Amino acid sequence: MKTALFRAVPALTLLFVLASNSSAMACAACYGDTSGSKMGNAATVGIFAMVVIMFIMLGTLLAFGFYFARRAKQTYPDYDELLSDDATPPAPNPGTSS
């Protein structure tokens, strides 16, 4: 049953692609015809906007990763030292810079 389905899906996809209109295959920017037409300019702006959004998202993830890496390198006092009742402040850690 599964093998018949795996064979039918690519065959149906190929059938739909061949039966569709040829203008639906690619946009004007993909064909390189962006010289002055409103459709070509809109496609170019849309593609540029998607690329900019993608780079903003990837940059945000990269910055978030660097934040976690920097924070993981910081050393903190022991848990017992943080909960101690004495009023003396904890000694500074030698690995941190202020």
| Confidence band for 52, pLDDT divided at 50, 70 and 90 | very high
What's the structural domain count of the chain? 1
Cα–Cα distance for residue pair 16/12, rounded to 1 Å: 6
Give domain status of residue 14, yes or no: no
Residue 60 sits in which domain range?
Answer: 28-72
Other beta carbons within 10 angstroms of residue 43's beta carbon come to 19
CA angle 42, 45, 50 (to 5 degrees): 125
Q: Is residue 81 part of a domain?
A: no
Confidence (pTM): 0.45
Q: What is the pLDDT of residue 22?
A: 63
